[in-house]
Amino acid sequence: MAGGGEEAKGEVGEAGIASGEGAETPVGSVDVLIVSLGSTGGLRRADEELAGSLRRAGASVAIVAATSPRRVRTLALTDLTWALAARRAARAELNRRKPRAVIYSSTTAALFWPRPGAIRFDASAAGNRPGRDGVWQRPLESHRLRQAPLLLPWSESGLREAPQMAVQGGRALVLAVPVEPSGPTGPPGQVRDIAAVTYGANPTKKGLDRVLAAWRAVRRPGEELVVMGAPASDPSTGSSLPTEGGVRTVGMLPYEEYRALLRRARVFVCAPRREDYGIAQLEALADGCELVTTSAPGPYAALPIARALDERLVGNDLASALRTALDDPTPDYSARALDALVPFRREAVDRMVAKRLLPRLLA
């Protein structure tokens, strides 16, 4: 996401609520200030994880979050209200603290920055705001990316999608968001009591309609699909999820409950129309789910991992892939998934932050 635009209209969080780590840094001088857009749970957790890594590397860190603005009708206006909220939050905090370095979390948070700083982003407006949706954001974003002393994309794909003229000059350091198992996933072959789960906040972008259609086509008696993140009805749009057998809607959950459901599920199924990173899918892999997904444009970090683990489960025939995952699971899928996630684990990210990020931030 360029900064939470689509999610800010219809998504409360990337599957949960972030929790802080470590004591708040006292008012005054600080090594690093993170300006958090915080428009989704995924962004909030990513910011907390980055702050934790910086603290473990020996830096003092403060996070200031934008106050959620009122809802507006278009993505262009949504990004404007969030960018202004981030500017107000950054300005107020810069009057209270004297940070040695500033990190803006998302390109939207950096659009009206009061002081230049590093920009961390999963996706750029150049990639996820085509046409009128990004008419003013794209040129200003390109300008800010050129000005930033350091760029911190979540993935190589996210960096490639940004305007190339704006990201040249060796200023980029790819820094993944850490993903850890949330608890014991049990021995190989353990029977799980939920057939499949999906994450449906921002249903159109996440392709919830396609997931439900595939589920109807292949569901067998006694099997259940749990839909997380999407409310049963949305008063702002008048839309509602269909009520049907074998589908249970649980809405937004506390993060711990969300991860507990992943540990009970056999399959995580999704069909995004665009994926800006896919942290929910990475978390599902970490918690032992098989990942059934369609291909999608965008810097979809879990997609190449899913293909390498079992290419039968990735493709446009979502129904067939879903049935394959349920009927013929690969025996060592979970163990291989954990191996594939090693570059995304907290230890690897901490090493990158200590050895490569912090020296550049404070230079």
Q: Read off the CATH number of the domain in which 68 is found.
A: 3.40.50.2000
What pLDDT, on the 0 to 100 scale, is given for residue 264?
A: 95
What pLDDT, on the 0 to 100 scale, is given for residue 245?
A: 80
Are 15 and 143 within one domain?
Answer: yes
Are 89 and 102 within one domain?
Answer: yes
Q: Which domain holds residue 270?
A: 194-342
What pLDDT, on the 0 to 100 scale, is given for residue 7?
A: 44
Are 165 and 235 within one domain?
Answer: no
What pLDDT, on the 0 to 100 scale, is given for residue 1?
A: 42
Are 157 and 305 within one domain?
Answer: no
- Cβ distance 195 to 223 under 8 Å? yes
What pLDDT, on the 0 to 100 scale, is given for residue 190?
A: 59
Domain assignment present for 314 = yes
Domain assignment present for 93 = yes
Domain assignment present for 187 = no
Domain count, the chain: 2
What pLDDT, on the 0 to 100 scale, is given for residue 230?
A: 78
Domain assignment present for 186 = no
Are 221 and 169 within one domain?
Answer: no
**10-residue mean pLDDT series, the chain (363 residues):** 42 33 57 93 92 97 95 94 97 94 97 98 94 96 96 95 89 96 67 92 92 96 93 53 81 93 97 95 97 96 97 97 97 96 97 97 91
What pLDDT, on the 0 to 100 scale, is given for residue 233?
A: 59
Structure tokens at 175: 């820094």
Domain assignment present for 226 = yes
Domain assignment present for 131 = yes
Are 275 and 297 within one domain?
Answer: yes
What pLDDT, on the 0 to 100 scale, is given for residue 227?
A: 95
What pLDDT, on the 0 to 100 scale, is given for residue 244?
A: 76
